[in-house]
Structure 1
Amino acid sequence: MTAVTLRPEVAFAPGRGPGEEEFRELHGAAHRECFLADSVRTEVRREARRTGG
């Protein structure tokens, strides 16, 4: 396996949650700190989606 794609879906209450840029930054920071992504040799891609908010 050369790559895996994670597709987390994050739900926010209506009218709440970060803007799009902050949302991408938060997921980037979470990915950099992810022990699972750090423990495998394959490329880990992420395609986060938001609902609500």
Structure 2
Amino acid sequence: MPLLGSFLNAFVIMNGFWQSPVLLVIVALGAAYLGAKAVEYIPFTRRIIERRQASRG
């Protein structure tokens, strides 16, 4: 039960953070950046990007 209590406490604290629109924008920008970096490292998507760039010239 102590583990469940700490999880619930963390969710309550995070709920207070998510009510701030400034923090949500910061998290969204960070997620977009990390998502773009992840796409570059996945071999399948990297090949798609390279083909698009090659066709454009």
- Category of TM-score, reference length = shorter chain: 0.3 to 0.5
Larger radius of gyration: 2
Greater helix share, 1 or 2? 2
Scaled by the length of structure 1, what TM-score is found?
A: 0.38
Which one has more relative contact order, counting CA pairs under 8 Å at least 6 apart?
1
Which TM-score applies when normalising by structure 2? 0.36
Identify, as 1 or 2, the structure richer in strand.
Answer: 1
